[in-house]
Chains A and B, each alone.
Chain A
């Protein structure tokens, strides 16, 4: 039997029973042992009682998405078997607790989790620790690595707690012993890697860029960004304000931005809906602000803890009037970091809102990454610290961008009403035109200045060219790896506004077969492509059931 070094492990069971922690530790142990990992947790919108899963893909090469097939399934209850048996690969093994679960799956291993926990006088909730120990034994990860992780996780709670967890994990590990296993974590730890979510990567990017202020309101799947900022308020000199609502969230960020701090808010579609009026105020007053919008399926409350790409049109058009906003649509964790950094440069350079559009899948999937190589210097655009006495906030300029002073340095006003270059109200038709045109000119300026709006991956001469954006990137890249014989190219859009019209037109012209893949029912990106290039991509794969794309289904579609 050949030993697989690219496989998927999944733990499934009732919410509240430590599924997330088990998954995180399993993945981290494999990563420390040398593997590349990609993790995707799924959970319903409740804290206890629902069905949770944590799936991690382990490989000896870098991986960009989960796959549908599971090779090792840990079922903590009957649902853990019933809801996932059709995901099991041919060579899969199923590990279950005979005390609460029955199965007729041939290749299954009863692991007496409850019994082992009881032997050590542990709480039932610690069954996951047995499963963790057993899982790592199955894939040949050195117990020392788990020991270290348990120590890190529980040392704050005292030596007794550490020992208790270690004993139980060891019992699980030893139960499996040196049993033959078809899966093995590749043990070639060359570089130190980090296990990080898209939300984490955005937070790090923002902090790197000098973002000092976040004000926002919790909303899945963006909440982790708020938590990260709050955790690092003291050591990184940040302010994180949990506001009364999202309206106040974006407004405070705009206030802080006006005063001169790099500032942001982070939310999902529903929270963004509340921010819409203030978004236009930022554009009219020409105040920099960054908003992360992590999508989940709508309309309304929708599927609060699942994924979709249904808010693209919303963020592009949100708020009354015509105005320019930058919209970045990162596709993986490195691009989340890049967007996190660049958003603040763009917001100050163009003095307008910048939106980073992600989703549950990207924001809450964890991948093993190396320290980020992307770097950009802080660009504060036309900020002037010592303005002259005759300073004019809205001075005309060819690039549409006026010199920006900060309150404290000179007397000036900013106005949400239409205004003249002094910042005084005006309803004069000529002045209205000139001001509107000044702000509108930023699109062309930004379009010229922002590079790499579209990124190409895959075969130079593909049989099929995929057009996608945001988090769909990972599953398409993995479909490429699975494809034997079919040459796939991916045109991935990282910057949606200014829209990369020329780049996409070129790729459309040379495509033998163009396919649109995106996670919404309305083919929103497809509509934009048609609007900007005149080309309609009829050949499209759309998904909108709350689940991310799987490489297998993408490949199946492309092979059609």
Chain B
């Protein structure tokens, strides 16, 4: 893994200072530390600033379309469960247009890591509000301020069946790297929501704003991520104090554990050269 941000001769085209640099670095370091085979590691992305990551990291990539990372990743993983599957999506991507897929992916509990670049704006389309924007946030699409209350993705994840729910901060790449490593080691659907300053369009939720508020859950001795009610309560924290770390974890059987066709080998390894359908004809006589 080339840890430099220059990859394939190209530098990421993010704005200087963008939080996405920290996320990319954390992911690269995690993949390196986990010693994952880059060919066997697939990063599936949507569309947005953050989801451009497959361009600048030396693993296999599938850039899909806006909001649609999780079903593509699920198809890849079901067909070949030996692959390590990561997804990268914006907050608009995953919690807006792709919200339906997000909820159902968590119910399903496939073994994958879902990284969300949560900058509370639509960066790539020039700064409109996103589902996680604070109430009252002004933007080109909401000149008078957002009327709705924001989505709370972690609360949603906890009640929707996610088995690993974490939040990282793009301004603390080493901590984020550890979260991604833990998320990958977790057997099941792992959400890593990343607080990602957008230096160009989000003038409220800046590095400084986050630095004043974030604290690490692992520093809180009594915090038990297996306690669902506690996790839910913690997931509601936002304005004054914002925890980062693992909010919630649970052991639950994977969707793919129950799929008979892949008990012995990945679907893609089955021989399809001359499938015999004689037995099937019997249904019809």
What separation, in Å, do the CA atoms of A272 and B284 have in the docked complex? 29
| A251:B75 contact, CB within 8 angstroms | yes
What separation, in Å, do the CA atoms of A406 and B62 have in the docked complex? 12
| A424:B8 contact, CB within 8 angstroms | yes
| Selected contact of B275 from candidates A192, A208, A256, CB within 8 Å | A208
Residue A213 CB within 8 A of the other chain? yes
Known: A254-B75, A408-B39. A207 touches B100 (CB 8 A): no
| B76:A256 contact, CB within 8 angstroms | yes
What is the distance, in angstroms, from B285's C-beta to the closest C-beta of chain A? 6
* Complex interface: stretch among B19-27, B236-244, B254-262: B254-262
What is the distance, in angstroms, from A6's C-beta to the closest C-beta of chain B? 23
How many A-B contacts at CB < 8 Å in the complex? Answer: 187
What separation, in Å, do the CA atoms of A247 and B65 have in the docked complex? 11
| A238:B261 contact, CB within 8 angstroms | yes
What separation, in Å, do the CA atoms of A127 and B138 have in the docked complex? 68
Residues of A within 8 A of B (CB): 32, 192-196, 200, 204, 207-210, 212-213, 215, 232-239, 241, 243-245, 247-248, 251-263, 277-278, 281, 285, 371, 377-378, 406-417, 422-425
B115-152 with Cβ < 8 A to chain A: none
What separation, in Å, do the CA atoms of A255 and B105 have in the docked complex? 14
Question: What is the number of residues of chain B that contact chain A, defined by CB distance less than 8 Å?
Answer: 53
What separation, in Å, do the CA atoms of A238 and B79 have in the docked complex? 10
A-B CB proximity, top 8 nearest: A255-B75, A210-B272, A413-B61, A194-B284, A252-B75, A251-B71, A259-B79, A256-B79
Interface string of B8-49 (1 = CB under 8 A from A): 101000000000000000000000000000111010100100
| B284:A200 contact, CB within 8 angstroms | yes
| A255:B273 contact, CB within 8 angstroms | no
What separation, in Å, do the CA atoms of A243 and B268 have in the docked complex? 20
What separation, in Å, do the CA atoms of A377 and B279 have in the docked complex? 19
Contacts of A241 on B, CB cut-off 8 Å?
74, 78
What separation, in Å, do the CA atoms of A232 and B276 have in the docked complex? 13
What separation, in Å, do the CA atoms of A410 and B199 have in the docked complex? 36
| A237:B270 contact, CB within 8 angstroms | yes
Contacts of B76 on A, CB cut-off 8 Å?
255-256, 258-259, 407
Q: List 27 A-B contacts (CB under 8 A).
A: A194-B281, A207-B280, A208-B275, A208-B277, A210-B273, A212-B272, A213-B75, A232-B280, A236-B275, A237-B260, A239-B79, A241-B78, A243-B104, A248-B104, A254-B75, A256-B78, A258-B72, A259-B75, A259-B268, A260-B268, A261-B267, A378-B273, A406-B80, A407-B39, A408-B82, A414-B61, A414-B63
From B38, which residue of chain A is reached at the shortest CB distance?
Answer: A411
| Selected contact of B75 from candidates A235, A253, A408, A425, CB within 8 Å | A253
Contacts of B60 on A, CB cut-off 8 Å?
407-408, 410-413
| B275:A209 contact, CB within 8 angstroms | yes
